[in-house]
Chains A and B, each alone.
Chain A
Amino acid sequence: MKKVLMGNHAASWAAMLSRVKVISAYPITPQTHIVEELSEMCADGRLDAKFLKVESEHSAMAAVVAASSTGVRTFTASSANGLALMHEMLHWAAGARLPIVMVNVNRAMAPGWNIWSDQTDSLSQRDTGWIQIYVENNQEVLDTVIMGYRIAEQVKLPVMVCYDAFFLSHTYEPVDIPDQDLVDKFLPPYEPDIFLTPEDPRSFNALVMPDVYMEIRWKIQRAMDQVYDVAAATGREFEGIFGRSYDLIETVDCDDAETVLVTTSSTTSPARVIVREMREQGQKIGLLKIRHFRPFPSKQVADVLRGKKKAVVVDRNISFGKGGIWADEIRGACSIEDDMPQIYGYITGLGGRDITPELLREIVDDAQAKEKPDSLLYWKGLKP
């Protein structure tokens, strides 16, 4: 069934199709439509789930952690300051190895108050142990939430699906909504081995001494390492049933490219336009879209970039005192590889400023005009 949906409602539909049992959320723009729609779905019986309308995002995450520990599939969503308030419980969710799936609509952090698109909110949750996936369009929102449960429940780690405020959250696009039967086939009921029950009275998240803590952390890293194969296999399986394929990265025209433009989220769409244009003009340019931030697809990215002259990374985020976060991750991934390109990092589009094809063209031209990078970060689109 095709419907014209805003990105937020695509997320709600995905949660419904995934047959989540407990939802807990708190309102924040631009995420609120997701939970409004889910409230309707619960109220009219389309979704058989308990919806906890809690008093803060911190409690939203604490409640889904507790519900997931009790052995049911859970969902929540947030943005920016709400996600930041959840921070402690994000660590809790991953540390307790719970397959929670949440949506984060990327919104700029205050102050000053800004409800528009910026990735710094979720990228700064980097070390919480969540799998993070950044998506480009509303179809990918829906598909990735459903795939998120499949991945999360296999590796026992939570998944955060991230997309741009307004560019996706409030923008209507045609979305193919899969049949419930097919989703059920792809995503079987969640039946964990261990959960809170008086029949098997265990102590969850108990005090651990230095003699075991480190091994628990090692196991989380090992689970992250499994995600590369699990996510790729899940994408292939998804394609087999629904006809749309997904991997940790996507490439366009990279094989013979000398310059590779690297993008994430909805910025990839205008990038597709200029890469096509520049190809038509005879330029050897390709596009690398990175979907996974954690685990970072270091090997996949290095394999694409090997032998290229320049990688031009667009960051709608900033780590103050360092630079663009994706650019920095790519530099890290390249550091143990041979034959890597020069890496140019551009900060642009912060706080919802448009990233147009023209702006991306300016960025590529700027990088191509340089003999070598003389800074870890460049700004583009700054007002004089």
Chain B
Amino acid sequence: MREDYPREELMMSGHLACQGCGGSAAMRHVLKAMGPDTICVIPACCWTIISGMYPYNTLKVPILHTAFETSGAALSGIKAALDAKGDTKTKVMAFAGDGGTFDIGLQSLSGAAERNEDVIYFCYDNEAYMNTGIQRSGATPDKAWTTTTPEKHPKRGPKKNMVQILAGHKVPYVATANVAFPEDLIAKVNKAKQIYGTKFIHILSPCPPGWRINSEQSIEIARLATYTKVFPVYEVYNGEEYHINIEPKEIPVIEYLKLQGRFRHLTEEDVKEIQNRVDYEWRILLHKAMDERFRH
């Protein structure tokens, strides 16, 4: 174990996650970096279940379970109350799924970001409504199978770009992260803790039942998502400065797609189309990050 990987465990055994759940690994890493002086908001999502049913709590930090679409508002309310009490020590974080972030919770998140509330919002993205049984969300990738996008009529259109949406709010810090790269994730949480304002960290978190993968493949596939450039890991400061944190490899997207049952219906033409879009978006990202490098 590396020296800089925090030893303290704030997420205990006895949680109710599925085997290989990316979302539970993400919480464990995030809390290690957040530390015990944290209040955690959880909207309706897998973590509503994972954290344990009354009267149990698998976390060693307090949780406010809140309605599906309210994470941004709940964060703001807790932060305002702490400010009113003069508590400057306690950090406030939300841990929300992609449905609660990309779709139903987008408005309250946007409100909190626009007000630049001093909070950290984590989205653990498993690319569909997994808790209700794998229905498509705004985070579901193009052409993927879900229970509401059957193979004969798969998801059409690209995944919503939440990083761009948050960057458009000009908040001080937006980043993507991946459960396959915990040191990078922890470093980002530590960085976010030092910055005043709204911080948004988008964590790719595989879901074995939803992605139709074996639980032991979860981290391997997450790693491939970044190496194939499907899910680049990068940061945006103040909505302007882009930094790519993990260098991808020259691996075609088929190596990522072919391991997942949710993509088993893809034709060669489909894969080519996905590859083209990934390449195109990577060039755009590179351009943004290069601009930054050229400027200095």
Contacts and interface: CB of A to CB of B under 8 A. Distances in A.
A67 B82 CA distance: 8
Interface string B67-102: 101101111111011111100001000000000000
A62 B57 contact: no
Given A62-B70, A63-B74, A198 B36 contact: yes
Nearest to A70: B81
Contacts of B74: 62-63, 65-66
A202 B63 CA distance: 6
A56 B53 CA distance: 30
A89 interface: yes
A203 B65 contact: yes
A197 interface: yes
A56 B56 CA distance: 33
Interface string B110-124: 110011000000000
A59 B75 CA distance: 11
Contact of B57 (A74, A196, A206): A206
A49 B84 contact: yes
A52 interface: yes
B286 interface: no
14 contacts: A22-B80, A24-B80, A50-B83, A52-B115, A66-B41, A66-B77, A68-B81, A70-B82, A71-B81, A92-B66, A203-B59, A204-B65, A207-B54, A207-B65
Contacts of B80: 22, 24, 50, 52, 63, 67
Nearest to B48: A207
B9 to A, nearest CB: 14
Contacts of A206: 51-57, 63, 65
Given A198-B61, A202-B62, A212 B77 contact: no
Given A62-B73, A63-B73, A70-B77, A198 B62 contact: yes
Given A50-B83, A66-B41, A24 B62 contact: no
B64 interface: yes
Interface string A51-91: 01111101110111111111110100000000000001100
B273 interface: no
Contact of A55 (B39, B56, B81, B107): B107
Nearest to A204: B64
B35 to A, nearest CB: 9
B247 interface: no
Given A206-B52, A206-B53, A201 B81 contact: no
B48 to A, nearest CB: 6
Contacts of A58: 69-70, 73, 108
A65 B62 contact: no
Interface in A197-215: 197-198, 200-209, 212
A21 interface: yes
B39 A67 contact: no
Given A50-B83, A72-B81, A207-B54, 17 more contacts: A50-B81, A52-B77, A56-B107, A58-B69, A59-B108, A62-B70, A65-B74, A66-B64, A66-B76, A67-B77, A70-B81, A71-B85, A89-B67, A196-B39, A202-B57, A203-B57, A206-B53
Contacts of B82: 70
A81 to B, nearest CB: 16
Interface of B: 36-39, 41, 48-49, 51-57, 59-67, 69-70, 72-78, 80-85, 90, 107-108, 110-111, 114-115
B77 A64 contact: yes
Contact of A198 (B38, B70, B110): B38
A207 B48 CA distance: 7
A89 B73 CA distance: 11
Contacts of B78: 66-67, 69-70, 196
Given A69-B64, A201-B59, A205-B64, A52 B76 contact: yes
A75 to B, nearest CB: 12
A203 B81 contact: no
A65 B38 CA distance: 18
Contacts of B66: 62, 65-66, 92, 205
Contacts of B39: 70, 196-198
B64 to A, nearest CB: 5
A66 B62 contact: no
Contacts of B76: 24, 52, 54, 59, 63, 66
A203 B77 contact: no
B37 A198 contact: yes
Interface string A299-336: 00000000000000000000000000000000000000
A74 B56 CA distance: 28
A250 B65 CA distance: 41
Contacts of A21: 81, 84-85
A22 B81 contact: yes
Contact of B62 (A60, A72, A197, A209): A197
Given A22-B81, A67-B77, A202-B57, A59 B65 contact: no
Nearest to A89: B67
Contacts of A71: 81, 85
A89 B70 contact: yes
Nearest to A63: B77
Given A22-B80, A67-B78, A203 B51 contact: yes
A201 B61 contact: yes
Contacts of A65: 66, 74, 77
Interface string A40-53: 00000000111011
Nearest to A202: B62
A195 to B, nearest CB: 8
A87 to B, nearest CB: 11
A204 B69 CA distance: 17
Residue with the greatest number of chain B CB neighbours at <10 A, chosen from A50, A56, A70? A70
B47 to A, nearest CB: 10
Given A66-B75, A204-B63, A205-B66, A198 B90 contact: yes
The 5 A-B residue pairs whose C-beta atoms are closest, nearest first, are A66-B77, A55-B111, A70-B81, A63-B77, A59-B73
A62 B71 CA distance: 9
